[in-house]
Chain A
Amino acid sequence: MKKTSLLALLSSQGVLIALALLILFGWLRYDNFLGLFNISTVLRYNSMFALVALGMCFVIMTGGIDLSVGSTAALGSVVSALLSPYGMLVGTLGGVAAGLCIGILNGVVIVRLRILPFIATLATMLAANGTALLLAQDQTVSVSYDGTFINLGQGDFYNIPIPALIAVVAYLIGSLVLNFTSTGRTVLAIGGNEDASRLMGLPVNRVKFLVYALSGGLAGLAGVILASQFGAGQPIEGVGWELFAIASVVVGGTLLTGGVGSVGATLAGVMLLGLIFNVLNFENGLGWISLSAYWQSVIRGLFLLAVVILQSRLATKESTA
């Protein structure tokens, strides 16, 4: 019994434990690992992935999947870059609206036409990619440096990067919605058993639609930050973001079958996968070994592997206990 509870602890808090261990390792081993510059760089860069992963987390909790987030973010970055001369507000709203459109399209195709989320979002991934390239005329679109638009991605608020603030606020709201609203509970109910939820009279279609719209909107927001942080709307960026987001969600302990999930653990999953890259850079900086950047994907893959095997061991333990 004791062993099972240890495993249970490892699985529910595993991602936090791993994250804490990785930070401890970095702090002991490298000089400036917890320095202001490094922390702010890591947070600034990974906040885009955090936003995308938040939307993905909600989608996966309903038992669905959203493959379109990467190219939706690229579309968002192009739209916001095109609108950036009109100021930060217009640029941001434009990018988010573009993402929202793709999300709404996903919702309509999945809920109304009843097409599997996997295929529906695969199609909108292509559509968003095509639209982004059309709008950008196959080039990167540089943003306007006259206005305030670049502050969004590059600025700080009391030393905290603004993108990180946005991500934290989004996660707080996400956590509140999931745990304290009927919509949030319906999300989990749908993932647990969609037919039963429907029979219980829960607004299954409306909530599913909302979840995909949310995922699109957050991807659009991530695109806005991308454009503002790197000074350009990038129509071909975002390749593989969807799978990185799925990996973060899974590492955070959310089951891909839906019905179970945690918003906070997803954030920890994003940070964990992001910090692996950071630690690798520091390790190379020490000069003892030289691991190319290509190792990061191998290590991330191994990490994902360890997590899913652990999860599956736990699931079999629980079902036999």
Chain B
Amino acid sequence: MSDTTSPKMPVANSFNIGAFITKHATLVALFGLIAFNMAFTNHFLSMQTLNVNLTQVATIVIVGVGMTLVIATGGIDLSVGSMMAISGAIAPLIFLGTAVKISEIHLAVAVGMIVAVVAAGAFGWFNGWLITRFRIQPIIATLVLFIAGRGIAQVSTNGNLQPFKLAQFQWIGLGRWFGIPVQVVIMVALVAIAAWILRRSLFGRQILAIGGNENAARLSGIPVARVKRWVYCISGLCSGIAGLVVIAINSSSDANLVGLGMELDAIAAVAVGGTLLSGGRATVTGTLIGALIIQLVRYTLLANGVNDDVAKLVKAALIVLAVWLQRHGRS
């Protein structure tokens, strides 16, 4: 993992194949999967396969970036799926003119997208506020919004499907820049920014310090509450963007379904990617690789005629195996 960052990482004295494989297990597994597919899956090496897999994985990674930062502080965010639903409900309310009428369509789309993402960010901030102001455990604090958030999205749309066909908006899920799907570009950009933040910025070091030892971080003068609120806010913003991508792909917004179960997909990607779930050590590129591995395993099984239900069993085993290997590799 290129951006594995830990304050107390042991320095390797000599090169060792075994250590290299355990340390880069996720990367090795990814290349192993690709090699397997090149050998056994027909038409694997095509632009189409690449695009299909990247498109499907993009929303999970976008949410996973925020989730990685949250988990790096030792927290968790269960409300990401609900925040996706909120953002996915708000944007069409604005650009379809249900809530407010804006005659210029480009302006309406821009306002809709910004308001939706900012609203999701505000809900994320609310999570952080609950956690820091009342010292509520993250899993419970975000459970509040997990339950209420989807309700808010459903209430604001009356539970109705909002269908649309609007090129000015749907570029975010269906468009391409230089042949690359737009959401893949967004995904890569977010991963790059977050990886840079974790490795190079003061904010990133503060996040890891809090995850490593919160009390020590507080005593050494790190503004723990502020950093945490920002981290949950970022998770909300990422979820908001992912919500827009999902409704753009579907050409409709269904508050009952947008982002359903996303929290678990994102957490699985983070865990398989090698981020420590207790906090203090995090890798955003790992999360990207983790999500790609989970996606590619599923694709491999489906492409070779295995039932999707069996693929779920394999995914479950994969999560346990990956986390167990990482434990083993460290001790």
Contacts and interface: CB of A to CB of B under 8 A. Distances in A.
Interface of A: 65, 67, 109, 113-116, 118-120, 122-127, 129-131, 133-134, 138, 239, 243-244, 246-247, 250, 256-257, 292-302, 304-305, 308-309, 312-313, 315-316
B9 interface: no
Contacts of A295: 151, 155
A239 to B, nearest CB: 7
Contact of A127 (B140, B145, B264, B312): B312
Contacts of B78: 243
A115 B313 contact: no
Contacts of A304: 140, 143-144, 147-148
Q: Would you call the interface of chain A mostly helix, strand, loop, or mixed?
A: helix
B106 interface: no
A122 B268 contact: yes
Contacts of A239: 260-261
Contacts of B271: 119
B152 interface: yes
Interface in B84-128: none
Contacts of B319: 119, 122-123, 126
- Going nearest first, the 5 A-B pairs with the smallest beta carbon separation are A301-B148, A130-B312, A297-B151, A294-B154, A298-B151
A302 B309 contact: no
A124 B277 contact: no
A134 B307 contact: yes
Contacts of A122: 264, 267-268, 319
Nearest to A295: B155
B31 interface: no
B311 A298 contact: no
A105 to B, nearest CB: 10
B311 A297 contact: no
B320 interface: yes
A99 to B, nearest CB: 16
22 contacts: A115-B327, A118-B76, A122-B268, A127-B316, A131-B309, A134-B307, A134-B310, A239-B260, A250-B143, A292-B155, A293-B159, A294-B154, A294-B155, A294-B158, A294-B159, A301-B144, A301-B151, A305-B130, A308-B134, A308-B141, A312-B135, A315-B135
A308 B151 contact: no
B264 A243 contact: no
A133 B147 contact: no
A124 B323 CA distance: 14
A316 B327 CA distance: 35
A256 B140 contact: yes
B47 interface: no
Contacts of A130: 309-313, 316
Given A114-B327, A118-B76, A124-B316, 9 more contacts: A123-B317, A126-B264, A126-B319, A129-B312, A243-B78, A292-B158, A298-B148, A305-B130, A312-B134
Contacts of A120: 320
Nearest to B156: A294
Given A129-B312, A308-B136, A109 B320 contact: yes
A256 B147 contact: no
B145 A256 contact: no
A123 B141 contact: no
A127 B317 CA distance: 8
A126 B313 contact: yes
Contact of B309 (A116, A125, A134, A257): A134
B307 A301 contact: no
A280 B271 CA distance: 40
Contacts of A292: 154-155, 158-159
B313 A308 contact: no
A312 B129 CA distance: 13
Given A114-B327, A301-B144, A125 B134 contact: no
Nearest to B277: A116
A247 B312 contact: no
Nearest to B271: A119
B146 interface: yes
Contacts of A294: 151, 154-155, 158-159
Interface string B232-270: 000000000000000000000000000011001001100
Nearest to A125: B264
A245 B313 CA distance: 24
A247 B143 CA distance: 8
Contact of B320 (A113, A118, A308): A113
Contacts of B21: none
Contacts of A301: 144-145, 147-149, 151
Contacts of B311: 130
A300 B147 contact: yes
Contacts of A256: 137, 139-140
Contacts of B327: 113-115
Contacts of A257: 137
B24 interface: no
